[in-house]
Amino acid sequence: MFGVTVNHFHKQNYPASVKKSTEFSLALLKNCPEVTSIILVDGSTEQDLELKNYCESLGVIYKHAGRLMSFAEAYNYGASFLKEDWITTMASDIYVYPDTFSKFKEFIEKHKHLSIGCLIPYLSTSDFPVQQTSQTARRHNCYASVMTFNLNIFPKHVFKSIGGLSTKYTGNFNDIKASLELQRLGLEIFLVDVYVQHYGSLTLRHGSNASSSQHDKERFYLEHPELTCEGGLWNLRLDYFFRSPIIKYIYRLSSNIRNRNVRERLIGLGGWVYRFVPRLQRIDS
């Protein structure tokens, strides 16, 4: 049912943990019976024969395009080989549970009436505060409005319709661009009551194929100046995406507060407003 493409990138100065994380994430995917194919795309300059052999021992397909690939290019390249109806892009520091995909399957079967553009899980660590939670916290199926690229499930026809991940960006704002494209098509991003572990920025700490954050930011806001919000999360007008009128209203009021420190406490990273999104945008069972 689900095909998964995992993005791997490696440099000589990387610690052994980067490669071990990739291997561990692949091994955990093999515990999920709903995952019918896995493709690892190595976006590094040179292919890694040791990693290739490890993949083959698991029944994972190893792909190397013969050149350095950006974050977006690697995901799109891997997705092009998947035959399943549901395309999953997954970072190499995401660690799933045996029932992760069975819960996604259950959501899909129960909510066929919804306009699904993308499904995302709750994460142990996330740049998007709405998506970050603890394993024991109460969670809701809800309209997420936006997403980060960590573990993302798309209907195959939707992934093709939005052109996959935008290659304009090296690895930042690809997720916001995809959110805009889904919104343009009248499709929704759903945060599903599924919890997975995310180590968080394992490769970014050492430099990766997704490291030009300032360049990506400048390029995005040059293209979308109307979405700029100083002091907000990613300097982004998230009220443009939120579904709840209450959250939209609070966000807009908060964005007009002159005191930057107060504004950031309300709508910045870890801002107060985000804790209410799962409840106020929850899906009726």
Give the DSSP H/E element, type plus range, for residue 247.
Answer: helix 245-255
Radius of gyration of the chain (CA): 18
**CB within 8 Å of 218: residues ≥ 6 apart:** none
Domain boundaries, the chain: 2-212, 224-285
How many other β-carbons are positioned within 10 Å of the β-carbon of residue 114?
15
| Model pLDDT for residues 66-121, shown as the tens digit of each residue | 999 998 999 999 999 999 999 999 999 999 999 999 999 999 999 999 999 999 99
Q: What pLDDT, on the 0 to 100 scale, is given for residue 10?
A: 87
Q: What pLDDT, on the 0 to 100 scale, is given for residue 207?
A: 47
Q: What is the pTM of this model?
A: 0.93
Q: What pLDDT, on the 0 to 100 scale, is given for residue 214?
A: 82
| Model pLDDT for residues 205-262, shown as the tens digit of each residue | 554 555 567 888 889 999 999 999 877 788 899 999 999 999 999 989 888 888 888 8
| CATH architecture entry for 2-212 | Alpha-Beta Complex (3.90)
> For residue 99, what are its two tokens?
């029932």
Contacts 24+ apart (CB under 8 A), 127-136: 127/234, 127/269, 128/233, 129/233, 129/269, 129/270, 129/271, 129/274, 129/275, 130/191, 130/274, 130/277, 130/278, 131/191, 133/195, 135/195
